[in-house]
Amino acid sequence: MTYFRKRIDMKIAICLRRVPDTTAKIVIGPSGVAIDEAGVKFVPNPYDEYALEAGLALVGAAGAGETVVVGFAGDSVQETLRTALAMGVDRAVHLQGTPTADGLANARVLADHLRDGGYDLILFGKLAVDDYGQQTGVMVAELLGLPCATAISSLSVDGGVATVTREVEGGVENATCALPAVLTCDKGLNTPRLPSLKGIMAAKKKPLDIVPVTVGESRVTVVSLAMPPERAAGRMLGEGAAAVPALITALTTEAKVL
Amino acid sequence: MANILCVLEQRGGTLRKGSAELLTAARQLADQGGGTVDALVCAAGDVAGLDTLGAAGADRVLTATHAGFAHYAPEGIVATVHSIAAGYGAVLVSATATGKDLAPRLAAALGAPCGMDVTAVSASGDAIRVVRPVYAGKAIQTLDLSGVAVVAVRPSAYTAVAAGKAGAMEAVTVPAFTQRLNVSGISTPEKATLDVAEARVVVAGGRGLGDPQHFGLLEELAAAFGGEAAVGASRAVVDAGWIEHGAQVGQTGKTVAPDLYFAIGVSGAIQHLAGMRTARTIVAINRDKDAPIFKVADFGIVGDLFEVVPALTAAVKAAKGQ
With respect to residue A119, please indicate whether it lies within any of the assigned structural domains.
yes
Q: Identity (one letter) of the amino acid at A182?
A: V
With respect to residue A87, please indicate whether it lies within any of the assigned structural domains.
yes
Q: How far is CA A88 from the centre of its chain?
A: 18
Q: How far apart are CA A196 and CA A198, in angstroms?
A: 5
What is the C-alpha radius of gyration for chain B, rounded to an integer number of angstroms?
21
Q: Choose the mutation target among A247, A252, A254, A256 for the interface with B, i.e. most B CBs under 10 Å.
A: A247
With respect to residue A222, please indicate whether it lies within any of the assigned structural domains.
no
With respect to residue A219, please indicate whether it lies within any of the assigned structural domains.
no
For A87-123, the pLDDT digits (tens) are 999 999 999 999 999 999 999 999 999 999 999 999 9
Nearest CA to B80 among B186, B184, B181, B171? B171
Do A247 and B299 make contact, defined as CB atoms within 8 angstroms? yes
Which domain, by its residues, includes A187? 10-212
CATH number of the domain at A80, please.
Answer: 3.40.50.620
Q: How far apart are CA B238 and CA A38, in angstroms?
A: 31
How big is the CA angle at A205 (ends A199 and A206), to the nearest 5 degrees? Answer: 80
| Distance between A235 CA and the closest CA of chain B, angstroms | 5
pLDDT tens for each residue of chain B, 322 residues long: 589 999 999 999 999 989 999 999 999 999 998 999 999 999 999 999 999 999 999 999 999 999 999 999 999 999 999 999 999 999 999 999 999 999 999 999 999 999 999 999 999 999 999 999 999 889 999 999 999 999 999 988 999 998 767 789 999 999 999 999 999 999 988 776 788 988 999 999 999 999 999 999 999 999 999 889 999 999 999 999 999 999 999 988 998 999 999 999 999 999 999 899 989 999 999 999 999 999 999 999 999 999 999 999 999 999 988 7
For A136-153, the pLDDT digits (tens) are 999 999 999 999 999 999
How big is the CA angle at B316 (ends B313 and B320), to the nearest 5 degrees? Answer: 140
DSSP-derived pairing of the beta strands A208-212 and B139-145: unpaired
Q: Which domains are assigned to chain B?
A: 3-172 (3.40.50.620), 201-319 (3.40.50.1220)
With respect to residue A234, please indicate whether it lies within any of the assigned structural domains.
no
Task: Tell me which H or E stretch contains A50.
Answer: helix A46-62
Q: How far is CA A59 from the centre of its chain?
A: 19
Residue pair B100/A134 in contact by the 8 Å Cβ criterion: yes
Q: How far apart are CA B294 and CA A234, in angstroms?
A: 7
B147 to chain A: which residues are within 8 Å by CB? Answer: 219
Do B303 and A239 make contact, defined as CB atoms within 8 angstroms? yes
How big is the CA angle at B116 (ends B127 and B248), to the nearest 5 degrees? Answer: 155
User: What pLDDT sits at residue A195?
Assistant: 93
B18 to chain A: which residues are within 8 Å by CB? Answer: none
Do B139 and A226 make contact, defined as CB atoms within 8 angstroms? yes
Do A143 and B108 make contact, defined as CB atoms within 8 angstroms? yes
User: What pLDDT sits at residue B199?
Assistant: 92
With respect to residue A114, please indicate whether it lies within any of the assigned structural domains.
yes
Q: How far apart are CA A215 and CA A219, in angstroms?
A: 12
With respect to residue A237, please indicate whether it lies within any of the assigned structural domains.
no
Nearest CA to B166 among B319, B11, B42, B53? B53
User: What pLDDT sits at residue A8?
Assistant: 58
Contacts of B239 (CB under 8 A, 6+ apart): none
Largest CA distance in chain B: 62
Do A222 and B142 make contact, defined as CB atoms within 8 angstroms? yes
The chain B residue lying nearest A242, using CA atoms, is B308
Q: How far is CA A192 from the centre of its chain?
A: 13
User: What pLDDT sits at residue A2?
Assistant: 44
User: What pLDDT sits at residue B1?
Assistant: 55
DSSP strand E in B44-180: where? 60-65, 88-94, 114-118, 120-124, 127-134, 139-145, 149-153, 168-172
Do B245 and A47 make contact, defined as CB atoms within 8 angstroms? no
Question: Exposed (0-12), middle (13-18) or buried (19+): which is A33, by Cβ within 10 Å?
Answer: middle
Largest CA distance in chain A: 72
A109 to chain B: which residues are within 8 Å by CB? Answer: none
Say how many domains are in chain A. Answer: 1
Q: State the average pLDDT for chain A.
A: 95
Q: What is the length of chain B?
A: 322
With respect to residue A149, please indicate whether it lies within any of the assigned structural domains.
yes
User: What pLDDT sits at residue B227?
Assistant: 86
The chain B residue lying nearest A178, using CA atoms, is B180
User: Is pLDDT larger for residue A23 or for residue A76?
Assistant: A76
Do A226 and B140 make contact, defined as CB atoms within 8 angstroms? yes
Q: Where are the alpha helices (DSSP H) in chain B?
A: 19-31, 53-56, 74-84, 97-110, 215-223, 235-239, 270-276, 293-296, 305-319
Residue pair B186/B84 in contact by the 8 Å Cβ criterion: no
Confidence of residue A5 (pLDDT cuts 50, 70, 90): very low
| Averaged pLDDT for residues A39-60 | 97
Residues linked to residue A225 through DSSP beta bridges, in sequence order: B141
User: What pLDDT sits at residue A234?
Assistant: 87
| Residue B199 touches partner A, C-beta closer than 8 Å | no
User: What pLDDT sits at residue A110?
Assistant: 98
Nearest neighbour of A134 by CB, restricted to B111, B116, B302: B116
| Averaged pLDDT for residues A221-249 | 94
Q: What is the length of chain A?
A: 258
Three-class secondary structure of residue B16 per DSSP = coil
A128 to chain B: which residues are within 8 Å by CB? Answer: none
Q: What ipTM does this complex have?
A: 0.93
